[in-house]
Chains A and B, each alone.
Chain A
Amino acid sequence: MINIHIKNKSWPTTEEAAEQAVIKDLEFSLEKNEFVCMVGPSGCGKSTLLNLLAGLDSDYDGKINLNTSQHNYSPHIGFVFQNPRLLPWRTVRENIELALPEPPPEQSQEIIDNLIEIMGLTEAQHKYPEMLSLGMSRRAALVRAFSIQPNFLLMDEPFVSLDAPTARKVRTLLIDVWKKRPHTVLFVTHDLDEAIQLADRILFLSPSPTHIVTDIKIDIPRGSRNEEQINLFKKRLFDETETIRTLL
């Protein structure tokens, strides 16, 4: 169980701008192995929140409790950024292997081989990232995140600017891999259809300074989340909660 309560996160005053609150009283928890999507208007502070969770930014007021068990053990965090952020001067394979902890756990090579095959990167694995298409780079970034066997996976709009068929394909792959090895996922997106297709639960965020507005469970069984079901769910959602429309 992961508990998060950010009381306040703001950008300090600079020469150009006054102090600006980004996150205010944002509180939620994630069940073990739950897949949660976060939807909110652009610029509301979603990426900032993920940076806090990943430990990239410790300048905030609040509490982040990532303990996955009572043994106070800090989980492996995988992070899939909005841009793939592969090191251009290392091959795809090297990029993936670099993310492994040192010394690499046993069987990590088999795990990587397997993931590379699932994601269709076998041919491309010894190429440099600049030779790949955006879709392939995004898949490589996914393999990198999965191969460290994370207990907690953070994803920051990882499929943005992919064409629709490619995005659909990569989303299916993501769910396949997640089902095989369940772990907690926090997936940020501004695409409600995507969120309904992927999530167990959706958290809706307000504009900046952001907090959670509503928390919706997706009750369509996985496997029957086709376009029709997703549209029906959306319609019902909009009818029940007027405010959601304004948050997209």
Chain B
Amino acid sequence: MQSRWFYSLAPPALLLFSWQLLAAIINSSLLPAPLEVFSVLWAALIDGELLPNLGITLARLFASFFIAMTIGTAIGIFLGRTRLVDRFFDSWLIIFLNIPALVTIILCYVWFGLTEAAAILAIVINKLPNVVVTLREGTRSLNKDYFEMAESYKFSRAKTIKHVILPQLHPFIIAAARSGLALIWKIVLVVELLGRSDGMGYQLHLFFQLFDVASIMAYTIAFVTVIQLIELTILKPLDRRAQRWRR
């Protein structure tokens, strides 16, 4: 028990300490000390500038996350089940996996205008191939024995999906969700920076022009905290719940 506390508290404490030390040595406004950053964070929370921007960014993040996960899962399962189609589209996947995020974002804005839909589309296109590839692997690894069992006991389609397919795909869906969240929240800021007039990305861009490093760090802390909370309160429990049958 003691060591668990140690391992969860000591590393962040050391990080804060090193930061403080470095800030004291450099003594420049380009690397503000932790205390200063936290007071900026507090001020931004109080004057109500941070939360609306954080909210709009999270809304974009969730919208594109759910679209990419739904479509990607469907395509991934389809490709995993039909070998010929998969062979045909395999090169497409590799191309889309390797297009730089910046290129899709610029093209989406150029072709569809500086709109919300273009922004979401750009994020989805960046994330989609990832989900497809992960779920395709998952579908390929589905165990035939269980399908035969289900068929011989006349499982209905719904029963087969719920009790035979989804439990086997679950780890792959969680993996796609995890890496997806990490990827999307990096891209969403770039999308906002390039073509939106609100959200975290836009704000960071403003702070950059003002060289306001304290605010940049304060916003980063707020965002990372939210993402960590999602991981801890949603993804981890979901994962644990589905893994409880394992030895």
Name A residues whose Cβ lies closer than 8 Å to a Cβ of B. Answer: 51, 54-56, 77, 79, 81, 83, 85, 87-90, 98-99, 101-102, 128-131, 144, 148
CB–CB A83/B145 < 8 A: yes
Contact surface of B with A, Cβ cutoff 8 Å: 145-146, 148-149, 151-156, 159, 163-164, 167, 242, 244-247
A87-B152 contact, Cβ under 8 Å, with A81-B145, A130-B245? no
Min CB gap A89→B, angstroms = 4
In the bound complex, what is the Cα–Cα distance between A81 and B164 (angstroms)?
17
Q: Are A89 and B242 also in contact (CB < 8 A) when A81-B145, A98-B159, A98-B163 are? A: yes
| Nearest 5 Cβ contacts at the A-B interface | A128-B245, A89-B167, A79-B152, A99-B153, A85-B149
* Residue of chain A at shortest CB distance from B154: A101
Cβ of A54 and Cβ of B152 under 8 Å apart?
yes
Give the docked Cα–Cα distance between A88 and B143 (Å).
Answer: 12
**Bound Cα distance A128, B243 (Å):** 11
Chain B residues with Cβ under 8 A from A98's Cβ? 153, 155, 159, 163
Check B153 against A87 for contact (C-beta < 8 Å): no
What chain B residues lie within 8 Å of A83 (beta carbons)? 145
- Interchain pairs with CB closer than 8 A, number: 50
Shortest Cβ gap from A190 to chain B (Å)? 20
Nearest A-chain residue to B243, judged by Cβ: A89
* Cβ–Cβ < 8 Å partners of A77 in chain B: 152
Task: Report chain A residues within 8 Å CB of B153.
Answer: 79, 98-99, 144, 148
A54 CA to B148 CA, complexed, in Å: 10
Q: Check if A87 sits within 8 Å of B151, measured CB to CB.
A: no
Extra contacts besides A98-B163, A129-B245 (6): CB < 8 Å: A56-B151, A83-B145, A85-B149, A88-B245, A98-B159, A102-B159
Interfacial chain A residues near B246, Cβ < 8 Å: 88, 130
CB <8 Å contact, B154 and A87:
no
Does A87 lie within 8 Å of B163, measured CB to CB?
A: yes
Please tell me if the beta carbons of B245 and A85 are within 8 angstroms of each other in the complex.
Answer: no
Chain B residues near A128 (CB-CB < 8 A): 244-245
Q: Assess whether B145 is in contact with A90, with CB atoms less than 8 Å apart.
A: no
Q: Are B167 and A87 in contact (CB under 8 A)?
A: yes
Residue of B148, B163, B167 touching A56 (CB-CB under 8 A) = B148
Alpha-carbon separation in the docked complex, A77 to B153 (Å): 8
Q: How far apart are the CA atoms of A90 and B160 in the complex, in Å?
A: 13
Complex alpha-carbon distance, A79 and B156, angstroms = 17
Complex CA gap A178/B182 in Å reads 57
Q: What residue of chain A has the Cβ atom nearest to residue B149's Cβ? A: A85
Residues of A contacting B145 in the complex (Cβ-Cβ under 8 angstroms): 81, 83, 85
Which residues from chain A contact B245 at a C-beta distance below 8 Å? 88-90, 128-130
**Pair A55/B152 contact, Cβ less than 8 Å:** yes
Q: How far is the CA of A96 from the CA of B170 in the complex (A)?
A: 22
Instruction: Please report the C-alpha to C-alpha distance between residue A26 and residue B246 in the assembled complex, in whole angstroms.
Output: 43
Q: How far is the CA of A83 from the CA of B143 in the complex (A)?
A: 13
Cα(A81)–Cα(B146), bound, Å: 11
Residues on the B chain within 8 Å of A144, using CB: 153
**Would you call B247 and A131 a contact (CB within 8 A)?**
yes
**Are the CB atoms of A130 and B164 closer together than 8 Å?**
no
In the complex where A130-B245, A130-B247 touch, is A85 in contact with B156 (Cβ < 8 A)?
A: no
Q: Check A102 against B156 for contact (C-beta < 8 Å).
A: yes
Instruction: Tell me whether B146 and A85 are in contact (CB under 8 A).
Output: yes
Q: Is the CB of A87 within 8 A of B155?
A: no
With both beta carbons as reference points, the residue of chain B lying nearest to A90 in the complex is identified as B163
Query: Which residue of the partner chain B has the closest CB to A77?
Result: B152
CA–CA, A90 and B159, complex, Å = 13
Measured between alpha carbons, how far is A228 from B112 in the docked complex, in Å? Answer: 86
Q: Is the CB of B149 within 8 A of A81?
A: yes
Which partner residue on chain B sits nearest A83 by CB separation? B145
Residue of B nearest to A85 (CB): B149
CA distance A85 to B155 in the complex (A): 14
Closest chain-A Cβ to B2's Cβ sits at a distance in Å of: 30
29 CB < 8 A contacts A-B:
A51-B148, A54-B151, A54-B152, A55-B151, A55-B152, A56-B148, A77-B152, A79-B152, A79-B153, A81-B148, A81-B149, A83-B145, A85-B145, A85-B148, A85-B149, A87-B146, A87-B149, A87-B164, A88-B245, A88-B246, A89-B245, A98-B159, A102-B156, A102-B159, A128-B244, A128-B245, A130-B245, A130-B247, A131-B247
Q: Once the chains are docked, how many angstroms separate the CA of A99 from the CA of B145?
A: 15
| Minimum Cβ distance to chain B for residue A13 (Å) | 17
Contact, CB under 8 Å: A56 / B155 = no
Residue of A nearest to B247 (CB): A130
